[in-house]
Amino acid sequence: MSSPDFASLGISKPVLQAVQELGYEQPSPIQAQSIPILLEGANLLGIAQTGTGKTAAFALPLLSRLDSSQSAPQILVLAPTRELAIQVAEAFQTYARHLKSFHVLPIYGGQDMRGQLRGLQRGVQVIVGTPGRILDHLRRRSLDLSKLRALVLDEADEMLRMGFIDDVETILAETPSTCQRALFSATMPPAIRRVVKKYLGDAREVSIAAKTRTVERISQRYLMVQGRHKLDALTRILEVEEFDGMLIFVRTKSTTVELAEKLEARGFSAAALNGDLSQALRERTVNRLKKGDVDIVVATDVAARGLDVDRISHVVNYDIPYDNESYVHRIGRTGRAGREGCAILFVAPKERHLLRAIEKSTGQQVTSMELPTGEQVSTQRVQQFQEQILRNLDTQDLDRFRELLEGMAHDRELSMSDIAAAMAWQLQQERPLFPKLASIEVASHEKSIGRDKRPDASPRDRSQKRKERPTDKRKQRDEFGEFEMTTYRMEVGKNHGVTPGDIVGAIANEADIESRYIGQIKLYDDHSTVDLPEGMPPELLNHLKNKVRVCQQPMKLSPLGGESGHRPPPSKGKLSLKTKPGGKPRARKPETAQKRSGSRPAKK
C-alpha cells in the first residue's frame, strides 16, 4: 500500500490533470510499476489482467510522451475484441482530454470501412484495433505504421486464444525496429513467451506479486453482478443483511461522494471518506461512525488506511480491489477486537479472475452469495414496520389518536382494521412494504469459480484435443456448470481462404460470444463447422445467419442437424452467452428475518 502518487511518477501535466479530475487517488500496483518504465521508453512485459488498471498503466505514460507535432499514427494498441478496442480507445480519449488536437481511432472488423478510412485520412495519433482489421488496412496501404513510436499488445493471451497470433506477428514485423513495445497478458503461454523473446527482447517485466495471508474470523462472500446493477444489489443487501457499522470500498474519490449521496437518498445513513476531505473532517466522519451517528462509510483505500472502528461488522468491496494486498487490507477493517466480521465482494463477470487470485492468495474460499429477493426485502420491511408500531404503542401517549379513530369508526361505520389498513398503506408509500423490485442480472453459482479449470484452457483448446464424435451435440463445462454444444455449419470454407481465427473473430465480435465458448472448428473446401453453446437466442442466430460475413462471404450459419435442432435456452428467456451459457438458477436457502438496528434505513 506504499504506492507513490501520480504526480511523482512523472506523467505529463495535461495527463496528470485528467487523472486528477477522474478522481484516481493513487496509482494501482501495475501502474506504479509500469509507468516509470514506459516513460523511460523501455519495452515492457506486464503480467496483468483486466480490472488491475492496466489500460492507464500504458495509456498515461505513452500519452505523456506523445509528439503533438506529428499527425501520423504514433501509438498502436492491438486488442482481441471490438469491445476491448472501444473501451481502450475511450480510455485514451479520457486521459488525453487536455491534449490539444488529439485524435484516437478504434478500428475493428464488422464496422464500415469508409468511416475508418476517413478517420485515418484525417490524421490520428493513437489507433486501437483488432488484429484482423488492422492487417486489412496495412494490406490496403491505408494505414502507415512507419512513424509508429509505441505498440501495445493488450490481452495477448486472449489474442492467441482467438487465433490472432499470426496476424499479430505480421503487424509486429511491419512496425519500425525503434518502436517501443509493451505486451500485457494475464498468462504466459509458450507462444506468447516466443513473441516476447522475438519482438520485445530487452523488455522489463512487471507483475503483481500475490502475497499469501490468512484472514481469520472474517466470513467472505461474493456476489457476481454487472456494474450497472451494483447500486440496486447493494441496496437490497443493506435492507436484508444484519449489520452494525459498514465500510464500503470504491475506487475513486468522486464515487465515495456519489454513492454516499445515493444511499442517503435511499434512506440509509451514509457518509463519504476520501483523501480530498480535510484531516478534521475525516476524523469527524470516523467519530460519527464510531458513535453510531452514521452506519455506513463509503471510502477509498487511501482514506480508510489503518481505520480501526470496532463496530464495523461488514466490509463491502463495491469496486473490486486491483490486488490481493488491498483486498486483505480492506477486509481487515472488520473482525476487529475479537469480533466476527463479514466481507462482501462485488464481482463483475469479467473480473472473475481477480476473485480467483484473491482466493488463491488468502488461501480461503470466498463463497457465492444470493442476491436478496424481493420477498426477503418485503419480510424485513414488514418486520420493521411492526416494530415501529409496537414502539409507538409502548412509548407514545396515544389517547387522543385512539379517540379520534374510534369516533371516525363510529361516525362512518368503519371497522378499526379498515382504518388501520388505510393508514398502513399511507405510511408505506415511500418505502413500500411489498415492493416490486427491478430484476437484477446476477450470475451466482454453486461452484467456486474456476477451481476445477485451468485458466488458459478454453473449451476450444480442449475440444480440439478431443477425438471427434459422430453426433453433432457435445457437452461443455464451465464454471456455471455443464452445457450442451451444438454443431453449426457455415457456408465459408478453405476455398474462400478462411482460417479458424477468422471464424472465431467474426463470431466473437459479431455475436458477442466470448471466445472460450466457441468450440471445435473444422474447415472443409466449401464450408466449415463450428461448435457453439446450445440455445442461442433466435435473434443472434438470425444475425449470424443473415448479416455476418467472413472473408467477404456471407456466413449463413445454420444448425448442422437442420433448424429443428435449435431449442430455446434452458433457463432464462434471454441467454447471455458472455456470462452464463445454460446457467441454472440456484436453489435458494430460506433466510432468517432477524436484523439489528444498524441495517435499518435512517428515519427521513
Instruction: Select from 20-28, 180-188, 212-220, 585-593 the region that touches ligand AMP (CB under 6 A).
Output: 20-28
List the one residue from 15, 18, 27, 222 that touches ligand AMP (CB under 6 A): 27
Amino acid at 369: M
Return the number of the residue (135 or 152) whose C-beta is nearest ligand AMP.
Answer: 152
Q: What is the spatial distance between Cα 537 and Cα 573, in angstroms, rounded to a whole number?
A: 9
The count of other CB atoms within 10 Å of the CB of residue 377 is 21
- 509 and 108 in contact (C-beta within 8 Å)? yes
50 part of the interface to ligand AMP, by CB under 6 A: yes
Return the number of the residue (22 or 523) whose C-beta is nearest ligand AMP.
Answer: 22
Amino acid at 397: D
Cell numbers of 269, please? Answer: 445513513
Q: How far is the CB of 538 from ligand AMP (least distance, A)?
A: 33
79 part of the interface to ligand AMP, by CB under 6 A: no
Return the number of the residue (111 or 252) whose C-beta is nearest ligand AMP.
Answer: 252
Instruction: Select from 52-60, 112-120, 328-336, 486-494 the region that touches ligand AMP (CB under 6 A).
Output: 52-60
Q: How far is the CB of 540 from ligand AMP (least distance, A)?
A: 26
51 part of the interface to ligand AMP, by CB under 6 A: yes
Return the number of the residue (145 or 299) whose C-beta is nearest ligand AMP.
Answer: 299
- 41 and 180 in contact (C-beta within 8 Å)? yes
List the one residue from 15, 24, 131, 159 that touches ligand AMP (CB under 6 A): 24
Q: How far is the CB of 333 from ligand AMP (least distance, A)?
A: 19
List the one residue from 56, 172, 297, 371 that touches ligand AMP (CB under 6 A): 56
Return the number of the residue (239 or 514) whose C-beta is nearest ligand AMP.
Answer: 514
β-pairing, 204-207 with 44-47?
A: parallel
Cell numbers of 507, please? Answer: 463470431
List the one residue from 36, 46, 53, 73 that touches ligand AMP (CB under 6 A): 53
Q: How far is the CB of 50 from ligand AMP (least distance, A)?
A: 5
505 part of the interface to ligand AMP, by CB under 6 A: no
Return the number of the residue (23 or 535) whose C-beta is nearest ligand AMP.
Answer: 23
Return the number of the residue (311 or 329) whose C-beta is nearest ligand AMP.
Answer: 329
Measured torsion, CA atoms of residues 218, 224, 229, 232, in degrees rounded to the nearest 10: -40
Cell numbers of 552, please? Answer: 467477404
Return the number of the residue (53 or 505) whose C-beta is nearest ligand AMP.
Answer: 53
Q: What is the spatial distance between Cα 593 and Cα 465, in angstroms, rounded to a whole number?
A: 51
Q: Please, what's the largest Cα pairwise distance for the chain?
A: 95
Q: What is the spatial distance between Cα 560 and Cα 558, in angstroms, rounded to a whole number?
A: 6
Give the contact letters, 245-274, x = binds to ligand AMP (CB under 6 A), - = no.
------xx----------------------
Q: How far is the CB of 157 from ligand AMP (least distance, A)?
A: 15
Q: How far is the CB of 23 from ligand AMP (least distance, A)?
A: 7
List the one residue from 9, 14, 16, 28 that touches ligand AMP (CB under 6 A): 28
Cell numbers of 245, please? Answer: 457499522
Q: What is the spatial distance between Cα 247 and Cα 387, in angstroms, rounded to a whole number?
A: 26
Question: Which of positions 392-411 make contact with ligand AMP (CB under 6 A)?
Answer: none
Q: What is the spatial distance between Cα 65 and Cα 72, in angstroms, rounded to a whole number?
A: 15
- Give Cα 589 distance to the centre of its chain: 27
Return the number of the residue (27 or 332) whose C-beta is nearest ligand AMP.
Answer: 27
What beta strand segments (E) does 60-133 contain?
Answer: 75-78, 104-107, 126-129
Give the contact letters, 533-572, x = binds to ligand AMP (CB under 6 A), - = no.
----------------------------------------
Return the number of the residue (28 or 226) whose C-beta is nearest ligand AMP.
Answer: 28
The count of other CB atoms within 10 Å of the CB of residue 130 is 29
- 186 and 208 in contact (C-beta within 8 Å)? no
Instruction: Select from 24-32, 503-511, 540-548, 564-572 the region that touches ligand AMP (CB under 6 A).
Output: 24-32
Q: Of 264, 258, 302, which is closest to residue 282 (Cα–Cα)? A: 302
Give the contact letters, 198-227, x = binds to ligand AMP (CB under 6 A), - = no.
------------------------------
Burial-class residue 596 by CB neighbours within 10 Å (0-12, 13-18, 19+): exposed
Return the number of the residue (91 or 490) whose C-beta is nearest ligand AMP.
Answer: 91
Look-up of cell digits 398503506: 425
Q: Of 44, 74, 248, 255, which is closest to residue 150 (Cα–Cα)? A: 74
Cell numbers of 521, please? Answer: 472448428
* Burial track 333-359 (b if 16+ CB lie within 10 A, e otherwise): bbbbeeeebbbbbbbbbbbbbbbbbbb
List the one residue from 14, 33, 44, 54 that touches ligand AMP (CB under 6 A): 54
For residue 315, list its beta bridge partners.
Answer: 247, 343
* Burial track 14-43 (b if 16+ CB lie within 10 A, e otherwise): bbbebbeebbbbbbbbbbbbbbbbbbeeeb
Q: How far is the CB of 52 from ligand AMP (least distance, A)?
A: 5
- 324 and 358 in contact (C-beta within 8 Å)? yes
C-alpha atoms less than 13 angstroms from C-alpha of 345 in its C-beta half-sphere: 28
Q: How far is the CB of 544 from ligand AMP (least distance, A)?
A: 28
- 148 and 77 in contact (C-beta within 8 Å)? no
600 part of the interface to ligand AMP, by CB under 6 A: no
Return the number of the residue (167 or 351) whose C-beta is nearest ligand AMP.
Answer: 351
CA angle at 309 for the pair 307 and 310, rounded to the nearest 5°:
140
List the one residue from 55, 125, 175, 509 that touches ligand AMP (CB under 6 A): 55
Q: What residues contact residue 23 under an 8 Å CB cut-off, 6+ apart?
A: 252, 253, 254, 255
Question: Which of positions 352-381 make contact with ligand AMP (CB under 6 A)?
Answer: none
Return the number of the residue (54 or 600) whose C-beta is nearest ligand AMP.
Answer: 54
Return the number of the residue (60 or 66) whose C-beta is nearest ligand AMP.
Answer: 60
- List contacts with ligand AMP (CB under 6 A): 24, 27-28, 31, 50-56, 251-252
